[in-house]
Amino acid sequence: MSERKVLNKYYPPDFDPSKIPRLRQGKSRQIKVRLVAPFAMRCSTCGQWIGKGTKFNARKETVDSESYLGIPVHRFYIRCQRCAAEITFKTDPENNNYIAENGAQRNFEPWRETQEINARLEQEKADEADDPMRALEARTEQSRRELEGLDALDELRAGNARGERVAEELRRAGRREGAAEDARCCREDEADGALAKQVFAAGAQKIKRVREEDVVERERLIKRAVGGQPQTAGKPAVPTALSRALRGVKAVKKPEPQTALTGMLAAYGSDDDDDDSD
């Protein structure tokens, strides 16, 4: 079996693409598209509310007689969800929006508000041109606003200058503190180094290396002192190494532990002694 999804197709040697008939379609033909409602509208036939973003299967065509700065205008055909009445709307490149044509009414048209504001401003300008007093008041109000803006700008500049001065002073103080801290740390390091040199030099002078023979001799003397030596008649005893080490140490007698009965008897005896003395 052949592959179901093929990428390359076979073309016979005698294939002539010019002999394939082509479909002649007009410029104003309609094509089926899937779209969403670009604005909220209300059906003029049944009063059904159609919200913005509702999906429709629509027909699209290009309006040949309308364009704006070379941008073509497109018309869309949809049907009401309730009564199936046909609703048409088209694009508005001038206002960057859409225009409801037939079958529905748009709830809000944003460009109308802009048009009303522009018309009101133009009317005010025309009235000012006709009335000198109103023109004078407008110029006075404009001058006052300009002065207020200049004052606010001066305040902002003064505040920025103060902030820059404060920041510069803080930076300088920080640099001074950092330099002082670095100098203090250097002095402390130098003092620690000098003290360490003194300690190491003094320790090197007091170091005394002990020979292995001296260690053996000292152990032998300690063993002899512990084991004891017989004294010769007529000769004083030679002080041993242990006696020399313990010279000047007083013997302390360890107190005997007392039981509870011994403590009571001792206390009774002391009371009797006190009575006799009285």
Residue 246 has pLDDT above 60, yes or no: no
Average pLDDT score over residue span 138-162: 89
Q: CA-CA distance, 178 to 191, in Å (whole number)?
A: 20
For the stretch 159-176, pLDDT in tens is: 888 888 888 888 888 888
Phi, psi (rounded to 5 degrees) for 35: -145, 175
Query: Above pLDDT 70, what percent of the chain?
Result: 76
What pLDDT was estimated at residue 242? 47
Query: Above pLDDT 90, what percent of the chain?
Result: 26
What pLDDT was estimated at residue 260? 52
Average pLDDT score over residue span 43-55: 92
DSSP reduced 3-state for 44: coil
What pLDDT was estimated at residue 73? 93
| 35: confidence class by pLDDT, cuts 50, 70, 90 | very high
Work out the mean pLDDT of the chain and round it to a whole number: 78
pTM of the model: 0.39
What pLDDT was estimated at residue 76? 95
DSSP H helices, the chain, are 110-130, 132-206, 212-227, 241-245, 260-277
Phi, psi (rounded to 5 degrees) for 256: -75, 145
Residue 15 has pLDDT above 50, yes or no: yes
Instruction: Quote the distance between the C-alpha of residue 215 and its chain's center.
Output: 69
Residue 273 has pLDDT above 80, yes or no: no
Span of 10-19, 63-72, 103-112, 180-189 with lowest mean pLDDT: 103-112
What pLDDT was estimated at residue 277? 47
Q: CA-CA distance, 42 to 46, in Å (whole number)?
A: 9
Count CB neighbours of 69 within 10 A: 6
What pLDDT was estimated at residue 234? 46
Return the higher-pLDDT residue of 61 and 22.
61
User: Could you tell me the two tokens for 187?
Assistant: 């002095």
Residues near 89 by Cβ (< 8 Å), separated by ≥ 6?
38, 41, 75, 76, 98, 99, 100, 101, 104
Average pLDDT score over residue span 81-93: 93
| 27: confidence class by pLDDT, cuts 50, 70, 90 | low
Residue 91 has pLDDT above 90, yes or no: yes
Q: CA-CA distance, 220 to 201, in Å (whole number)?
A: 35
Q: CA-CA distance, 144 to 136, in Å (whole number)?
A: 12
What pLDDT was estimated at residue 42? 92
What pLDDT was estimated at residue 33? 94
DSSP annotation of 39: S
Task: Please name which of 229, 219, 225 lies closest in space to residue 243, comparing C-alpha atoms.
Answer: 225
Task: Please name which of 96, 94, 97, 95 lies closest in space to residue 70, comparing C-alpha atoms.
Answer: 94
Torsion of Cα atoms, 78 then 82 then 85 then 89, to 10°: -40
Most confident of 172-181, 206-215, 252-261: 172-181
Residue 250 has pLDDT above 50, yes or no: no
User: Could you tell me the two tokens for 159?
Assistant: 């505040």
Q: How far is CA 84 from CA 78, 100, 104, in A?
A: 9, 17, 12
Residue 233 has pLDDT above 50, yes or no: no
Q: Residue 56 is which amino acid?
A: F
Return the higher-pLDDT residue of 112 and 183.
183
Return the higher-pLDDT residue of 203 and 86.
86
Q: Residue 207 is which amino acid?
A: I
Task: Please name which of 106, 103, 105 lies closest in space to residue 45, comparing C-alpha atoms.
Answer: 103
